[in-house]
Amino acid sequence: MQVTKLGKKEKETNLKSVDVKVLEGLGLYDPRNKTKLAAQLNMSRETLSYRIKCLRSHFSLYLQANLYHTNIGLRKAMAFAESKPGYEELLVQCLKSNDYWLYVSQCIGASKCLATYGIPAGKEPEFEGFLAKLGESEQVSDVSFFWSTCIHNVNATTTWFDKTSEKWMFPWDSWLKEISTSNRELPYTLKEPEGYFQKADWVDIMILKELEKNYAITFEAIAKQLNTSKQRIKYHFKNHIVKKRMLEGPQILAAHYSGLSPETCFFIFTFKSFKDFSRFATSLLNKPFVRAMGKVYHKDQLFARLYLPRQELRNFIEALSKLVRTRFIETYQYVIEDPAKVERQTISYEFFKDGNWRYDHQKHLEKLQSAIEESVILS
């Protein structure tokens, strides 16, 4: 597995309309072909390269692949845990004791963590047993979880950016009207799948792992790492990964609200009907304050990771209050994540053997117990 720690690298730098245009283009077109991407954006290749360089240095730009885990035999789960004060770091290590973690973050204002997992289909009872064991620890006060669809990624767009003033707009009243009339179809990533299918082979998994680290990596570079030909990598990408829908697309992460005191929040919204759930979810598909979202299994609940300036977070909550008062939303809850306490890792490719995932439940329990015992000794 490849682990990345993400921290704050934001600077008080104004985002230009051309930068927002590039961010949008990176999400729509292939970032590996800068010549074609530049043509699509009606700019020179040199200008595009320069703007990407600026976005990396001033706005913490990351280009990663967002996988459709359903078609590589992995089922998404979201876990929430709270430790007793002073044991926050232990809680993180405990959540990471399961090799199939994908994302772990600590929250601000409470000893809470949230984690995302991609668990091999058929191993749900073992994973639930792992979380139950975590909940038995004296240092942990609460553990809960839910199974979900794959997570739908939302990249920044020019939708709410004013080119004249070169500032972000937040027309919450217009958004509320949009929700009531939205009739777009949900993307496949927000629909509960009929099943989980292992469609990948070893080469596919290795390509996906590299794309998770850097979506702009060239096929030549991947081929060199795998000691194979570029043609073989291109064949697997086109005829396996794309054709069998293992890849949702690029995930373009950038601090596009830098200078506006942004917060990253994790929300769960509960609706009285699937129709309301669908209207709300589709209204968020092109909004720049949304990072990602997914559906809770067998419930009319949407979870979303949102990225908003602090003042606009208050305005967003006021808009939600209106939806609650009109009974469009039953309820909602949220936590604020600490951007300096976020970790991601790629799919655990090292446990993919002979065309399937190896899940060692006993090993996970032993790692969990070891982390807890080590903490007790150090305290």
Q: Are 10 and 350 in contact (CB under 8 A)?
A: no
Tokens of 252: 């373009």
- pLDDT reading at 20 higher than 70: yes
Of 202, 193, 253, residue with least CA distance to 227? 202
Q: How confident is residue 63, by pLDDT bands cut at 50, 70 and 90?
A: very high
- pLDDT reading at 161 higher than 60: yes
- pLDDT reading at 329 higher than 80: yes
Rg (CA), the chain: 21
pLDDT tens, 254-293? 999 999 999 999 999 999 999 999 999 999 999 999 999 9
- pLDDT reading at 250 higher than 50: yes
pLDDT of residue 378: 56
- pLDDT reading at 109 higher than 90: no
- pLDDT reading at 145 higher than 50: yes
pLDDT of residue 181: 86
- pLDDT reading at 333 higher than 90: yes
pLDDT of residue 2: 55
Q: How confident is residue 13, by pLDDT bands cut at 50, 70 and 90?
A: low
Tokens of 342: 């976020």
- In this structure, which amino acid lies at residue 68? Y
Cα first-last separation, the chain: 30
Q: How confident is residue 347, by pLDDT bands cut at 50, 70 and 90?
A: very high
What is the set of domains in the chain, with CATH numbers? Answer: 13-59 (1.10.10), 69-150+342-378 (3.30.70.920), 201-243 (1.10.10.10)
Sorted by sequence, the CB contacts under 8 Å of residue 171 that are 6+ apart come out as 160
User: pTM of this prediction?
Assistant: 0.92
pLDDT tens, 297-328? 999 999 999 999 999 999 999 999 999 999 99
Calpha distance 12→270 (Å, rounded): 36
Q: How high is the mean pLDDT of the chain? A: 93
- pLDDT reading at 151 higher than 80: yes
Question: Coil, strand, or helix at residue 62?
Answer: strand
Of the two residues 116 and 182, the one the predictor is more confident about is 116
Sorted by sequence, the CB contacts under 8 Å of residue 122 that are 6+ apart come out as none
